[in-house]
Amino acid sequence: MNVLTSYIVREILKGAFIALILLLTLFNLFTFSDELGDLGKGGYGLKQIFYYLALTSPTVFYELMPASALLGSLFILGAMGNNHELIAMRAAGLSVFGIIKAVLLAGVVLVAISILVGELVAPDAQKQAQLIKATIDGKKVMLNDLYGLWLRENKRFINVRQIQDNGNLVDISIYDIDDQQHLYQTTHAEQAVFLGNQQWRLEKIKQSIISTEQMQSITRDEQPLKSAIAPDLLKLAVVNPDNLSFIDLAKYVNFLKGNHQKSQKFELALWGRVVNPLVTFIMLLVSAPFVIGIKRGISSGGRMLIGVVIGMGFNIIDKIVGHLGLIYELNPPLIAFTPSLIILTLAIYAIRRVQ
């Protein structure tokens, strides 16, 4: 890496991280304002609010990386253009492609940091943040759905109303059906304790055995239950799929497919994880022609406006395509990649025109 390339890489990284800090601070200020509405509920004080903000920051960091890369690159390259640095670099033999290559090298560093935070830090932190909000009252995870969480395992349907933070389940109903899709047994337990190795212990059970001749009711203090559904899998089901790691998403998608349940929402989030690093590179590519091909008199404020318009436009298109894909059950990889490929095509076209 020559001196000019390393200089561009260093400045792009500096600009991207400054933009990231500003965006993250702004986002957390808005979140803090929203969280004040819950202040004082069930012991949810300022300490818990700041802890919640700290735990959600890694996820926000990961999500803001593409926009920060775009804004930082526009600002830094724009300043270099206004200060005649780019002209001097090109006069010294650095081509337009060489400038873009340096920008993309900075993108490699940004993407590596983003992946480390998004896959290793953000998922666990986000789960803890959700537990803080969910455990305001009673130290248990209350499921958002009015009817709790429904899961299917082969010919068994399980309804869970509450998941405690230690992984135990509260207020569980189990419905077993036969080969003719007829209900033949219902089981309700006040609590289920996970014993490990696909083993649960149901406690305080009321069971009904249904047949064409009679209904039999049984009451037990406890009963074993073998199930592949583990506490970590259940907690995944109540977390926003956009906040899960790639491995967790892949695990849950396989579980849903194995039990013949709809998985498109989670598949789309899974492919979104694959696309996110590509989006950072695309945003950096987009910034190059806007700086090199625009007159040097454009102010930094004007360049920031360009960045905001591009970033918001891409985000809107991505959301629209994603929702249309879910509604019409389109191919998840196609839906995840389409907006990025469109912007990438436009960026390459603009770069070719600049060259």
**pLDDT tens for each residue of 4-49:** 889 999 999 999 999 999 999 999 999 999 988 888 776 788 888 9
- Predicted TM-score of the model (pTM): 0.72
Q: Which of 107, 129, 120, 28 is nearest to 276 (CA)?
A: 107
The DSSP secondary structure of 302-353, one letter per residue, reads: HHHHHHHHHHHHHHHHHHHHHHHHHHTT--HHHHHHHHHHHHHHHHHHHHHH
Collect contacts of 276-279 with beta carbons under 8 A, ≥24 apart.
276/62, 276/65, 276/66, 276/114, 276/118, 277/111, 277/114, 277/115, 278/340, 278/344, 279/66, 279/314, 279/340
Average pLDDT, the chain: 82
Measured at the CA of 135, the angle between CA 133 and CA 137, to 5 degrees, comes to 110
Q: What's the rounded Cα separation, in Å, for the pair 170 and 190?
A: 6
- Yes or no: say if 83 and 249 are a contact pair by the CB < 8 Å rule: no
pLDDT for residue 308 = 73
Quickly state the pLDDT bin for 140 (edges 50, 70, 90): very low
Give me the residues paired with residue 205 across strands: 189, 220
What residues does each domain of the chain span? 3-136+264-354, 145-237
Give the pLDDT confidence of 247-271 residue by residue, as tens digits: 888 887 887 777 677 778 888 888 9
Quickly state the pLDDT bin for 138 (edges 50, 70, 90): very low
pLDDT for residue 137 = 47
Which has the higher per-residue pLDDT, 17 or 133?
17
Find how far residue 273's CA is from the centre of its chain: 7
- Residue 37, classified by CB atoms within 10 Å of its CB into exposed (0-12), middle (13-18) or buried (19+), is exposed
Which has the higher per-residue pLDDT, 1 or 250?
250
Q: What's the rounded Cα separation, in Å, for the pair 191 and 231?
A: 13
Q: What's the rounded Cα separation, in Å, for the pair 100 and 289?
A: 9
**CA distance between the termini of the chain:** 22
- Burial letters 182-206, b for 16+ CB under 10 A, else e: eeebbbbbebbbbeeeeebebbebe
Quickly state the pLDDT bin for 242 (edges 50, 70, 90): low
Give the pLDDT confidence of 318-327 residue by residue, as tens digits: 888 888 887 8
User: How many CB atoms lie under 10 A from the CB of residue 280?
Assistant: 24
- The tokens for 258 are 């194995």
pLDDT of 153 > 90? The answer is: no
Quickly state the pLDDT bin for 298 (edges 50, 70, 90): low
pLDDT of 77 > 90? The answer is: no
Give the pLDDT confidence of 164-204 residue by residue, as tens digits: 767 788 889 999 998 888 898 999 999 999 888 888 999 99
Residues 6+ apart with CB under 8 A from 61: 20, 24, 114, 117, 122
Q: What's the rounded Cα separation, in Å, for the pair 151 and 288?
A: 49
In percent, the amount of the chain with pLDDT more than 90 equals: 26
pLDDT for residue 149 = 77
Q: What's the rounded Cα separation, in Å, for the pair 149 and 201?
A: 19
- Yes or no: say if 61 and 25 are a contact pair by the CB < 8 Å rule: no
Measured at the CA of 148, the angle between CA 240 and CA 206, to 5 degrees, comes to 145
- Alpha helices for the chain (secondary structure H): 3-35, 46-82, 85-91, 96-116, 122-134, 231-237, 246-258, 264-292, 300-327, 332-354
pLDDT for residue 299 = 63
Q: What's the rounded Cα separation, in Å, for the pair 292 and 89?
A: 12
Q: What's the rounded Cα separation, in Å, for the pair 42 and 139?
A: 10
Quickly state the pLDDT bin for 329 (edges 50, 70, 90): confident
